[in-house]
Chains A and B, each alone.
Chain A
Amino acid sequence: MAVDNMKTNKVVALNALEKRRFRTPWQEAWGRLIRNKAAVLGVVLIVSFLFIAVFANVLAPHNPLQLNSGKDFLPPSWIETSASGKHGDPEFILGTDTLGRDVLSRVVYGSRVSMMVGFAPTLIIMLVGTFVGLMAGYYGGRWDNFLMRLTDVMYGFPDLLFFIIALISLRDTWLGQFMNGLFLLFFALAIINWVGVARIVRGQALSLKQKEFVEAARSIGVKDSQIMLRHLLPNALGPIIVQGSFLIPGMIITEAVLGYLGLGLKPTTNPDAFFITSWGSLMLDGQTSINAQPYLLLAPAICVALVVLSFTFLGDGLRDALDPRMRGRA
């Protein structure tokens, strides 16, 4: 038995060794990623949400702007009688909102704005924050001092005032109108939020740059940019990914609130518009009617939670897959 086992192990190891010769690091990373069940689940979910977002107009059972007088606050179709004494209607699977609009259709349309707003500003924030953090942490001294004092200022930056002013001064310009106001939103969110990422990356860089492998790299004359990209960044990836997965729901909720400052999605009466509503707006509507129609709050909240969960799983999987020390394992 024991011998057999040893043999098998050896064979497996040899096989792995053999295979590895024919694979690039990217292929390997991909291999590790698709073997991670949680990560695959995450990818599947994200792709389906993207699919729903793109084909919202086909998938939504109703016009999301259609008012249905007298059919307000209907509970989901499977609930016979709600707390407010209304009866479910099979036509409206998740019920209706305060004006009798179909909740399911609104959730489906909401995915468009929320997927965009969850990812686009987060990406900008991560890029800017990582860049600033690496520079500050690696070069230290004056750079560090300047950039970190800048982050101190940014932390205290009165963002609410900034948004209000941006709204007033830009609402009639092309910037305010572009993508129904969403572009300005990405921009504003990124300006305000890159600081947190920058500080984390800087903290990592401060610690990592004293490590032996970085000193070794420096002593053999590797360029600074290469050290930052090849040595510091991969080792700081974990916390960056965590930060990213936390930014996404934050952005989705912030969009809703900013919408109410007039700096996000403008309300529209045109059912052919691409961006009609967002999960954040639905949640805020849902909060006021929590007793009458809880699904107005629950449905978008579950969607946001699923997106975050998928991204968390995918992020963990990615980090493991890209980790150079994991090479040959899994």
Chain B
Amino acid sequence: MSAYFIRRILWLFPVLFVVALITFSLMHAAPGGPWDRDLSSRQVDAGTQKVLNAYYGLDKPLWRQFTAYVFGDVSSTTDKFVCGLVCGNLGPSYRVRGSTVQDILFKPPKGKGFEYSRFGYSLRLGLISLVFAIVLGIPAGIFSALKQNSLIDYLSGFISSVGISIPSFVMAIFMIIIFATTLHWVSVVPKSWDEAKAWVLPAAVLGFGTLAFATRLTRASMLEVLRQDYIRTARAKGLHENIVVWRHMLRNALIPVVTILGPALAGLVTGSFIIETMFSFPGMGRAYVTAISQRDYSMILGTTLLYVLMVSLANLSVDFLYVIIDPRIRLEE
């Protein structure tokens, strides 16, 4: 088994490389470049654009830009070798000029810990919302399945359907109107993110989709398991209902739930644009989306690679969890 997981970890490198290559090609194929600003006031003129391109090495052939990004290249301004991705250097941001992508994502403000970096903020919010989704979603799913076609079941189905049909930007503004402007439980713009209650609304809105999904999925796979013969056997031989549910049913029902929670975790901790925009949250979700519309090349690559790394690791852990949940599963053959 351990050999299998070591092999899987080694596979991360080709996966990251392929994603970097695809992303690189796509972003350079997209029309426009980092100096094509939205049409406010003045556009960068041709002369300045030439200077900027030379400054960042964007005047070099594409293959060389790619190898420079991945492995490194000699800087045209200082004539020193600058190591690339292989040394953990994600490159300079073209929009937040003067900062590297790793600084923007991982560097906390002066005198604060890692959890105050953009990634740190997103990580914290993502974990909270995942806990929220699991703690509410899985029990709700189990209960709906055990009481299939009861009022509770219909209610939970209704709530999750409505929940996923309402886009999160709409849900966020409704939450703000109810809890901030009307009830005054929290302020619209949190004074400080050190206050625990400031996290409640963003975490709830962020986790709601995952919550609804986890509920429905748990219910569906519980229903599958409920009808299996071994459950009937377990009940028939007089086992206590709790033991039947916990030991026999849940173990088998969790496979699909765990499958989605892996990538969901990766998505949650790498931040959400909508949540960050609506709640003025200082995470990294905005970085990815704005980078694409601004053609901030190294930021696009950096955030994409970080996301793929998280997804791959999450999927790896999911496969690992499969084996723990159901020891009969064999991944290698």
Contacts and interface: CB of A to CB of B under 8 A. Distances in A.
Interface in B240-283: 252, 255-256, 258-260, 263, 266
Given A140-B331, A160-B289, A149 B220 contact: no
Contact of A156 (B29, B304, B330): B304
B292 interface: yes
Contacts of A152: 15, 308, 311-312, 315
A217 interface: no
Given A204-B256, A305-B166, A165 B11 contact: no
Nearest to A310: B161
B154 interface: yes
B328 interface: yes
Interface stretch (A88-96, A100-108, A240-248): A240-248
B22 A157 contact: yes
B164 interface: yes
A203 B30 contact: no
Given A148-B315, A308-B165, A158 B326 contact: no
A58 interface: no
B331 A153 contact: no
Contacts of B30: 161, 164-165, 168
Contacts of A326: 227
B169 interface: yes
Range for the number of chain B residues in contact with chain A: 35 or more
A160 B164 contact: no
A128 interface: no
A27 interface: no
B332 A305 contact: no
A161 B292 contact: yes
A308 B23 contact: no
B23 A161 contact: yes
Instruction: Please report whether the interface of chain A is mostly helix, strand, loop or mixed according to DSSP.
Output: helix
A131 to B, nearest CB: 17
Contact of B220 (A140, A148, A160, A319): A319
B157 interface: yes
A287 B278 CA distance: 13
A18 B169 CA distance: 56
Among A203, A283, A301, max chain B CB count under 10 A is at: A203
A144 interface: yes
A207 B292 CA distance: 39
A79 interface: no
A253 B256 CA distance: 25
Nearest to B23: A158
A158 B216 CA distance: 28
Contact of B216 (A196, A207, A242, A297): A242
A305 B160 CA distance: 10
B236 interface: no
B227 A325 contact: yes
A238 B224 CA distance: 7
B300 to A, nearest CB: 7
A119 B212 CA distance: 20
Given A141-B333, A210-B329, A199 B259 contact: yes
B217 A204 contact: no
Instruction: Please report whether the interface of chain B is mostly helix, strand, loop or mixed according to DSSP.
Output: helix
A50 interface: no
Given A206-B329, A239-B220, A308-B161, A156 B213 contact: no
Contacts of B224: 235, 237-238
B183 interface: no
Contacts of B322: 203, 206-207
Interface residues of A, number: 59
Nearest to A324: B227
B329 A156 contact: no
Interface in A130-177: 140-141, 144-145, 148-149, 151-153, 155-158, 160-162, 164-165, 168
Interface in A192-243: 196, 199-200, 202-204, 206-207, 210, 235, 237-239, 241-243
Interface in B105-164: 149, 154, 157-158, 160-162, 164
Given A238-B223, A242-B217, A203 B19 contact: no
A312 B157 contact: yes
Nearest to B220: A238
A304 interface: yes
Contact of B167 (A149, A210, A245, A283): A283
B158 A158 contact: no
B173 A290 contact: yes
B35 interface: no
B54 interface: no
27 contacts: A140-B331, A145-B11, A153-B18, A153-B308, A156-B308, A156-B311, A158-B23, A158-B26, A161-B26, A161-B30, A161-B300, A162-B26, A168-B31, A199-B315, A203-B258, A203-B322, A207-B322, A210-B329, A241-B220, A246-B216, A250-B164, A287-B167, A287-B170, A301-B167, A309-B158, A309-B162, A319-B223
List the 5 closest pairs (A to B, CB-CB), nearest first: A156-B308, A238-B220, A305-B165, A239-B256, A203-B259
Interface of A: 38, 140-141, 144-145, 148-149, 151-153, 155-158, 160-162, 164-165, 168, 196, 199-200, 202-204, 206-207, 210, 235, 237-239, 241-243, 245-246, 249-250, 253, 283, 287, 290, 297, 301, 304-305, 307-309, 312-313, 316, 319-320, 323, 325-326
Given A204-B255, A210-B328, A316-B157, 14 more contacts: A149-B14, A156-B307, A156-B311, A161-B23, A165-B26, A202-B259, A203-B259, A207-B252, A207-B322, A238-B223, A242-B216, A249-B165, A287-B170, A325-B227
Interface of B: 11, 14-15, 18-19, 22-23, 26-27, 29-31, 149, 154, 157-158, 160-162, 164-167, 169-170, 173, 212-213, 216-217, 219-221, 223-224, 227, 252, 255-256, 258-260, 263, 266, 289, 292, 300, 304-305, 307-308, 311-312, 315, 318, 322, 326, 328-333
